């Protein structure tokens, strides 16, 4: 499968479906807000805001009179962001959004109590430059908060049916996952394991009180597949499969695996394994047999700009 219209698709838009609304447990976000004292935040900036999933979760935890600005490189995302966020607040003027580049933000120095992003840095060739910009726009004593994954884990072939699978195929699929993420990074498309790098990058940029947490949300799936999060996740897979995008974009997969040191022969064998396993998963789901805990590694890394 491949996506012939991939170049016309706004960046990451294939991942902006309803499934994204189930990434966090609300009580975990309540706890995070307490840990960070978000009620003291009166000015916040969401960098790489997309269509507002992260902002919509954070905004209710900010000060009652807080202002929030979203920044995204896609104008279409900015428009949808404003529609989404302004529908959530009684005073829409408190929400603004602008088109801009994460490594050259069109925002003033030291202007915000909080600069944040969710799954932005894994797409960037220069994540450290984007973090430096977030530090620049944050006031002394203000917070930089990044929610970024190690998506290698999500690409590994885990499931509750692993013991029935061929070890050789599992090893080949695991190798493909490693070569994919390494190749993607080598091609300058961003490191899907950037969450592992963030604490060191924060420290290198001079941020203080660096802390790291993991989201406690797992996307478990098991019969009868009735949970709203399961339904949304399966719907996303069906959409990606039908359109040949995301994890079903063969051309993208091949380019990254080859850049990661895989041979053409290896990729062809691994891709067949990938599609065969996908078909087996669909069959097992229809027969009410497929299940998995489906944990992820989504890090929340926090640092404070020093008070000079």
Using alpha carbons, select from 270, 255, 117 the residue that is nearest to residue 185: 255
Looking at the chain, the whole-number percentage of residues with pLDDT higher than 90 is 89
- Residues 7-22: pLDDT tens digits? 445 566 677 788 888 9
Q: Are 170 and 139 in contact (CB under 8 A)?
A: no
Largest Cα separation within the chain, whole Å, is 62
- Residues 170-214: pLDDT tens digits? 999 999 999 999 999 999 999 999 999 999 999 999 999 999 999
Q: Are 61 and 145 in contact (CB under 8 A)?
A: no
Give the pLDDT band (50/70/90) at residue 6.
Answer: very low
Q: What pLDDT score was predicted for residue 2?
A: 44
In the DSSP assignment, the letter for residue 83 is: H
Give the pLDDT band (50/70/90) at residue 217.
Answer: very high
The rounded distance, in Å, linking the Cα atoms of 103 and 133 is 6
Q: What pLDDT score was predicted for residue 119?
A: 96
Q: What pLDDT score was predicted for residue 11?
A: 60
Kindly report the average pLDDT of the chain as a whole number: 93
Using alpha carbons, select from 25, 88, 7, 9 the residue that is nearest to residue 52: 88
Helix%, strand%, coil% for the chain, nearest 5: 50, 15, 35
- Residues 107-117: pLDDT tens digits? 999 999 999 99
Indicate the Cα dihedral angle 259, 262, 120, 126, nearest 10°.
Answer: -40
Region 74-87: what's the mean pLDDT?
94
Q: What pLDDT score was predicted for residue 17?
A: 80
- Residues 267-292: pLDDT tens digits? 999 999 999 999 999 999 999 999 99
The rounded distance, in Å, linking the Cα atoms of 194 and 150 is 6
End-to-end CA distance of the chain: 54
Q: Is the pLDDT of residue 139 over 80?
A: yes
- Copy the structure tokens of residue 276: 């065969």
* Host H or E run for residue 284: helix 264-286
Out of 3.30.565.10, 3.90.600.10, 3.40.50.150, 3.30.465.10, the CATH code matching 11-150+193-217+295-308 is 3.40.50.150
The rounded distance, in Å, linking the Cα atoms of 86 and 159 is 40
Region 40-64: what's the mean pLDDT?
96
Name the residue with higher pLDDT: 87 or 103: 103
Region 295-308: what's the mean pLDDT?
95
Name the residue with higher pLDDT: 132 or 20: 132
Q: Is the pLDDT of residue 1 over 70?
A: no
Give the pLDDT band (50/70/90) at residue 4.
Answer: very low
Region 224-248: what's the mean pLDDT?
92
Domain limits of the chain? 11-150+193-217+295-308, 153-189+221-291
Q: What pLDDT score was predicted for residue 64?
A: 94
């Amino acid at each position: 499968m491949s996506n012939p219209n991939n170049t016309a698709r706004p960046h990451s838009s294939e991942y902006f479906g309803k499934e994204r609304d189930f990434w966090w447990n609300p009580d975990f976000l309540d706890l995070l807000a307490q840990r960070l004292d978000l009620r003291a935040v009166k000015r916040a900036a969401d960098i790489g805001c997309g269509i507002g999933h992260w902002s919509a979760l954070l905004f209710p935890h900010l000060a009652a009179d807080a202002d929030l600005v979203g920044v995204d490189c896609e104008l279409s995302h900015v428009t949808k962001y404003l529609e989404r966020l302004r529908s959530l607040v009684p005073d829409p003027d408190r929400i603004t959004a602008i088109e801009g580049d994460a490594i050259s933000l069109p925002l003033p120095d030291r202007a915000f109590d909080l600069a944040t992003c969710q799954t932005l840095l894994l797409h960037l060739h220069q994540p450290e430059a984007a973090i430096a910009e977030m530090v620049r726009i944050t006031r002394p004593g203000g917070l930089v908060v990044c929610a970024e994954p190690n998506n290698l884990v999500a690409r590994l072939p885990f499931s509750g049916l692993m013991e029935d699978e061929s070890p050789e195929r599992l090893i080949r699929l695991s190798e493909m996952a490693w070569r994919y993420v390494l190749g993607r990074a080598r091609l300058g498309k961003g490191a899907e394991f950037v969450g592992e790098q963030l604490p060191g990058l924060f420290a290198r940029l001079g941020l203080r009180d660096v802390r790291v947490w993991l989201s406690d949300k797992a996307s478990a799936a098991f019969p009868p597949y009735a949970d709203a999060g399961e339904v949304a996740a399966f719907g996303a897979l069906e959409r990606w499969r039908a359109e040949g995008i995301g994890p079903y974009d063969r051309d993208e997969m091949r380019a990254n695996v080859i850049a990661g040191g895989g041979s053409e022969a290896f990729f062809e064998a691994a891709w067949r394994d990938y599609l065969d396993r996908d078909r087996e998963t669909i069959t097992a789901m229809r027969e009410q047999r497929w299940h998995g805990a489906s944990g992820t590694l989504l890090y929340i890394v926090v640092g404070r700009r020093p008070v000079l």
